[in-house]
A and B are shown apart, each in its own frame.
Chain A
Amino acid sequence: MFAITPNILASFMNSLSRYIILLSLILISVSIFLIIFLENDYYQGISFKIMFIHVPTAWLSLAIFLVMGISSIVGLIFKSPTAFTVARSLSPIGLIMSIIVLVTGSIWGNLTWGAYWVWDARLTSMLILAFIYLGHILLLYSFEHFQKADFAASVLAIIGLVNLPIVKFSVDWWTTLHQESSVLRIGGPSMTNDYLITLLVSFFGIFMLTIYWFSNIFYIIVEKRKIERSKLLND
């Protein structure tokens, strides 16, 4: 497992990336088609269609942080450069995802609740997650040597893991304005199958796009380091 160097992983993902982006574009087009022709919610009307971007990006922003945290643990314990590079290339994607979640959520909130923003547990913990992503990126770029930056950022990512169950279960532990989970809940999804299928297609489309995006960032970081190393050798 630890024989996987960043170079090997980058070239492996690079060889698959064209299929991943193709699959992602197909899934996203199908989901846009499904979303347009889907019957409106009986109560919210057309504004419920924001869900098909809000929920997948929310899941992904949590999942990306989980992967980031685990690879930071692996990186710190086994001093694995691959794991550090994985964490390094995931945080910008996670930041963008959590910003999309907050923006789409507040648009939906204004249409449904009557307020763009309230300080309830779910919304606040999601904002904290976005700030941790931002802090991770800032730490990565505030050191001259990337090994030091990786170390500092990994500690932040591991501490930030504590926030993940708080985001996920805030709606169950405390009373919040945000509603409880509709899909990942005890007793099965509380939405009809046509909505659920559309949501899953949209999720896998955005998920594949995320993997494509991740592999590109990873590749760029690896190539950049190669150039820097050859420069050092030439000097």
Chain B
Amino acid sequence: MRIIKLNNQIKKRFIFLLIIFGCFSASIFLISYSLKDQIAYFVEPTDIKSMDGIENKYLRVGGLVKKDSLKFLDGNWVFEVVDQNQNSVNVVFSKTLPNLVEENKGIIVEGKFIDNIFVAEIVLAKHDENYMPQSAIDKLKEEGKWRGN
């Protein structure tokens, strides 16, 4: 008799916890789903094409620094940020770049569009998930498998 009673209690507690946990995770899911655009840290150049009223709006754009586009002109860094769909954004930056900003490497620029040119106030280098020593790259280059610069 006692065992049956205990099992009932355990079942009750289990269902109670399940309901609490389910409600809480559902609410977190709904919050994060409706705030999707706010949680995203940056937009890609492709997303900008479909956005309207971007002039003078403060935003972050992320992508790769386009190859052969990084130049130092009249005291400003000028480069293009490009994504996988080959859409790009022209960027001007007047301060010192972080050490690890290079062509064909990830970058995030923070600022606003003025006359279709992105005037960046903050530039961050975005590192990708690849880690390897120089010797491994030399080996890949020998085998002709290396796709970086």
Contact = CB atoms under 8 A, between A and B. Distances in A.
Do the two chains belong together in a single complex?
yes
Interface string A161-172: 110001000000
B67 interface: no
Interface in A103-152: 111-115, 118-121
B41 A121 contact: yes
A190 B10 contact: no
B51 interface: no
B114 to A, nearest CB: 23
Contacts of B134: 39-40, 42
Interface in B9-46: 10, 13-14, 17, 20-21, 24-25, 28, 32, 36, 39-44
B41 A176 contact: yes
Given A77-B13, A121-B39, A190 B133 contact: no
A108 B69 CA distance: 27
Nearest to A185: B129
B124 A174 contact: no
B18 to A, nearest CB: 10
A174 B40 contact: yes
B17 A112 contact: no
Interface of B, helix, strand, loop or mixed by DSSP: mixed
Contacts of A51: 131
Tell which of B14, B21, B62, B133 has the most Cβ of chain A within 10 Å: B133
A13 to B, nearest CB: 27
Question: By CB atoms of chain A within 10 A, which of B36, B42, B44 has the most?
Answer: B42
B98 A113 contact: yes
Interface stretch (A28-36, A191-199, A202-210, A217-225): A191-199
A215 to B, nearest CB: 28
Nearest to B122: A115
Interface in A49-83: 51, 73, 76-78
A44 B127 contact: yes
Contact of A78 (B10, B24, B133): B10
A144 B80 CA distance: 62
B132 A191 contact: yes
Contacts of B124: 113-115, 118, 177
A177 B41 contact: yes
B125 A113 contact: yes
B130 interface: yes
A105 B127 CA distance: 13
B17 A190 contact: no
Interface string B89-113: 0000000001110100100100000
B135 interface: yes
Given A41-B131, A77-B13, 17 more contacts: A39-B133, A43-B100, A44-B100, A44-B127, A73-B17, A76-B13, A76-B17, A77-B10, A77-B14, A113-B100, A121-B41, A158-B21, A161-B21, A175-B43, A179-B128, A182-B129, A192-B131
Closest 9 CB pairs of A and B: A114-B98, A39-B133, A191-B131, A120-B41, A42-B134, A182-B129, A113-B124, A179-B129, A180-B129
